Structure 1
């Protein structure tokens, strides 16, 4: 197993922070070493200095993508922070139905990981609109930096344990049973989620219209305060007046530094200025 020096770690961490926003502190040194060692072995690289040179010289971007796939932690589950989904169902969806005149809902799950969050939003939306859904564009954009998790999310296959928190009616209405105790999301819900790779550190996001709802939960915990502030400002500029931002319960916005208005823990709203 190759070891990483503090100098090598600093160079690698600097590259990752600059390009992906992830702030790797020195206590993550052993984690980085463990997760990246296989990549060094695959390329017959003898040191992390060689690996760093390999990553920055690879013009295809494949080396950097493989590195980020290893570095990022993609832990999530259905109904995580369930009070957010209750609020989305009871407050946000009725607001959208009464105010979005062109019936084009624009909901973004940023840092969607393995798909549990956007699929939950899609199931809530399907349940809420019922037969009226055919008259609405309810598709949800789901993005992540990791191609590996996006690939898994698009397949929409989950174990029985993964689905424990879901209502029984959802399990029967929105999933089909496979072999070996696995279930797959039905096409009705799967087709309501559009998966794309997106780096939240990109200078601009590819949105032509502003968004009604942004879910970006448990992503900014990996960023330093300046990176978080810059990202939240970008979110604000992308949000329609009246629109919502949901963040993780372990995250918070400094009220003096954001134009979003606090609604409830980890939920914020862009309101009209007086």
Structure 2
């Protein structure tokens, strides 16, 4: 399927309720994410833009193309990238990274000399590289002999491609202090900077659908960082995802979530940290599994 050379100027009709429910159901079935009635215009606009690019004038025809067409898988990946909000930045929620920093500093007294970190819903990589920078700084202060790796996952293939490149516009880096910028980035042009190779090689990006965490190979993670992802799921599905994540958290490990994203969920293996400004939990060292 190819994008047409000319943008269709013909206005698309409004998406009726039946069409909205059809698209909404497809998105939830495949990704788990829900689109509320209040975000109907967002769905219509995002789908409509892609339809114009391809020359479709019928929501139903495009739905069938995405569902069962010869290029359905490829087109679905493109559309999902349009529908997933990728608003992110380096060290987005500072109190959460402070919790991670404290956890890493405490590793000095641990026998295990490696730290495995998982960024769940990593988008275009800012969160994953922030965790890598923090780990590199903290563990280098402890001393030699420590290894860390960051596994970063997302459902969006285009977002992961951008993350692997590790190239960011200078505006994305305005919140970083000069030392971090000088240590972990190389200027590629007047407008863009690239993550240095020694940090890039510590981060592995992979496509993972959180509905299929039971198939994910990650286990024994020391830190799981999952923010601004669960808000797109129904409450019952959030609990399922969280329980799956806990299964992949090492005893004594740290799980950091987004404030306000979790309601009425408890896990017997977890104990909340003392931070009032971040939502984070330790997994007990004598866990049930």
Instruction: Give the secondary structure class of the aligned counterpart of 1:251.
Output: coil
Q: Give the aligned partner of residue 219 of structure 2.
A: 209
User: Which whole-Å CA distance do the structure 2 matches of 1:222 and 1:87 have between them?
Assistant: 24
Q: Give the aligned partner of residue 227 of structure 1.
A: 237
Q: Give the aligned partner of residue 5 of structure 1.
A: 16
User: Which whole-Å CA distance do the structure 2 matches of 1:256 and 1:197 have between them?
Assistant: 28
Name whichever of 125-134 and 176-185 sits farther off.
125-134
Q: Give the aligned partner of residue 163 of structure 1.
A: 173
- Among residues 57, 70, 94, which one is paired with 1:46 in the alignment? 57
TM-score by length of 2: 0.87
Superposed, which structure 2 residues align to 1:111-122 within 5 Å?
A: 111-122=121-132
Cα separation, partners in 2 of 1:134 and 1:56, compared to 1, 3 Å: farther
The count of aligned residue pairs is: 272
Aligned: 1:85 with 2:80: no
Q: CA deviation at 1:96?
A: 3.7
Q: Is the 1:233–1:258 contact (alpha carbons within 8 Å) kept by the matching residues of 2?
A: no
Aligned: 1:266 with 2:276: no
Q: CA deviation at 1:219?
A: 0.3
Q: CA deviation at 1:58?
A: 3.6
TM-score by length of 1: 0.91
Q: CA deviation at 1:133?
A: 7.3
Q: Over residues 8-50 of structure 1, what are the superposed CA-to-partner deviations in whole Å (9 max), with x where a residue is unaligned?
A: 1101111111110111112211111111113222333221111
Q: CA deviation at 1:238?
A: 1.1
Q: Over residues 150-187 of structure 1, what are the superposed CA-to-partner deviations in whole Å (9 max), with x where a residue is unaligned?
A: 11111111222211221221111111112223211111
- Among residues 184, 196, 214, which one is paired with 1:186 in the alignment? 196
User: Which whole-Å CA distance do the structure 2 matches of 1:42 and 1:10 have between them?
Assistant: 23
Q: CA deviation at 1:100?
A: 5.1
Superposed, which structure 2 residues align to 1:39-78 within 5 Å?
A: 39-58=50-69, 61-78=73-90
User: Which whole-Å CA distance do the structure 2 matches of 1:209 and 1:134 have between them?
Assistant: 25
C-alpha RMSD over aligned residues? 2.1
Instruction: Give the gaps of 5 or more residues in structure 2.
Output: 1-10
Instruction: Give the gaps of 5 or more residues in structure 1.
Output: none
- Among residues 133, 140, 153, which one is paired with 1:123 in the alignment? 133
User: Which whole-Å CA distance do the structure 1 matches of 2:223 and 2:215 have between them?
Assistant: 15
Q: Over residues 72-109 of structure 1, what are the superposed CA-to-partner deviations in whole Å (9 max), with x where a residue is unaligned?
A: 1000111111111122112x1134443352x3322100
User: Which whole-Å CA distance do the structure 2 matches of 1:69 and 1:130 have between them?
Assistant: 36
User: Which whole-Å CA distance do the structure 2 matches of 1:140 and 1:68 have between them?
Assistant: 24
